[in-house]
Amino acid sequence: MSNQTRGNNFIFLASLILLNLVPAYGVFYWDWKSFDLIFLYWLENLIIGVFTVLKLMAYPYQNFSQVAGRIFPSILFSVHYGIFCLAHGCFIVLFFAPDEQYRSQFGDITYLIALIVSQHQLGWPLLALASYQLIDWLRDAITHWPSEEKVEHIMSAPYKRIVVLHFAIIGGGFFIAENNNPIGGLLLLIALKIVNDVYQWSRAIKKPPL
């Protein structure tokens, strides 16, 4: 590994950790509860879905069949992943939301998201996590272009992340909520998220560039 590669990896790792630490500000200064963190990480899942579609579509097309071979999986993924995330988000609001008004807004999910982001000061932390996902997508696009990764592998990656990470976070969130949301417990959720992201990043950089 060259010195430049090591330097780039260090910069990316530092960015990953620092941007993931932004939610800690909400814990200390905005009196965040477990709902705020869990909903923020759910919103990050939506962002990951967008970048997954971009990854599916980022391909050096040479004929129409290749275009169709990427468009149809992208549409299928968008619909299925969207429904999956919608059900996941409704579960989070139903069991963790502190205000009954949120549960009455399931009919307008866009308004519900905007309302929660506004009332719970999630905007800047969400921007930080979106920035991390953008940096990660650009890193992968630059080092592995053109991507020969199978479409099914690209489509399944976000689901694996949700199953592993969010079940752990939601399980921890229930325990923390039952114990009056101690700061230490909330910081532990943030640490769990960072450890998972570092692990996923370390696996990604081991893929040989094409």
pLDDT in tens, 24-67: 999 999 999 999 999 999 999 999 999 999 988 877 666 777 77
78 domain-assigned: yes
Give the whole-angstrom CA distance, residue 41 versus residue 35.
Answer: 10
How many domains does the chain contain in total? 1
119 domain-assigned: yes
209 domain-assigned: no
- Distances 45 to 30, 112, 133, 187 between C-alpha atoms, Å: 23, 16, 10, 20
110 domain-assigned: yes
CB within 8 Å of 198: residues ≥ 6 apart:
13, 16, 17
Q: In terms of pLDDT, which residue wins out, 207 or 204?
A: 204
pLDDT band at 131 (very low <50, low <70, confident <90, very high): very high
> 130 in helix, strand or coil?
helix
CB within 8 Å of 103: residues ≥ 6 apart:
93, 94, 97
147 domain-assigned: yes
60: which 2 tokens? 């050096």
CB within 8 Å of 36: residues ≥ 6 apart:
26, 30, 120, 122
pLDDT tops 80 at residue 137: yes
- Name the nearest CA neighbour of 127 among 11, 25, 2: 25
171-189 per-position pLDDT tens digit: 888 888 888 888 999 999 9
pLDDT score, position 29: 93
143: which 2 tokens? 């080092």
89-102 per-position pLDDT tens digit: 999 999 888 888 88
9 domain-assigned: yes
Range of the domain at 18: 3-204
Helices (H), 30-99: 34-57, 64-96
210 domain-assigned: no
